[in-house]
Amino acid sequence: DQKVNSLVMNYYFNDTVRNTYNEWTSMYGTDTEMLLSIMQLDVTLPLDEQEHPEGGTWAEYFMNIALERARADYVTYNIAMSEGYTLSAEDNLNLESNVNYKDLYAMYAGYTDVDDYMVAVYGPGASRDSYYEYCKVSAIASAYYNDYAEKLTYTDADIRAYEAGKETNYNAYNYVSYYLGYNM
Q: What is the pLDDT of residue 27?
A: 92
Nearest to 131 by CA among 7, 24, 19, 3: 7
Q: What is the pLDDT of residue 167?
A: 83
* Rounded distance between C-alpha atoms, residue 58 and residue 55, angstroms: 9
Q: For 78-136, write each residue's pLDDT tens digit.
A: 999 999 999 999 999 999 998 999 999 999 999 999 999 999 999 999 999 999 999 99
Ramachandran assignment for 173, one of left (phi > 0), alpha (psi -120 to 50 degrees), beta (any other): beta
H-run or E-run covering 133: helix 128-151
DSSP label at residue 39: T
Q: How far apart are the first and last CA of the chain?
A: 75
Q: What is the pLDDT of residue 85?
A: 97
Cβ neighbours around 21 below 10 Å, total: 14
Backbone angles phi and psi of 69, in degrees to 5: -65, -45
The reply to whether the predicted model has a pTM over 0.85 is no
Q: What is the pLDDT of residue 179?
A: 82
Is residue 2 within 8 A of residue 74, CB to CB? The reply is: yes
Residue 31: which residues within 8 A CB-CB, separation 6 or more?
none
Is residue 86 within 8 A of residue 147, CB to CB? The reply is: no
Is residue 145 within 8 A of residue 76, CB to CB? The reply is: yes
As a whole-number percent, the residues of the chain with pLDDT over 90 amount to 79
* Rounded distance between C-alpha atoms, residue 93 and residue 167, angstroms: 45
Q: What angle do CA 132, 127, 97 make, to 5 degrees?
A: 35
* Mean pLDDT estimate for the chain: 93
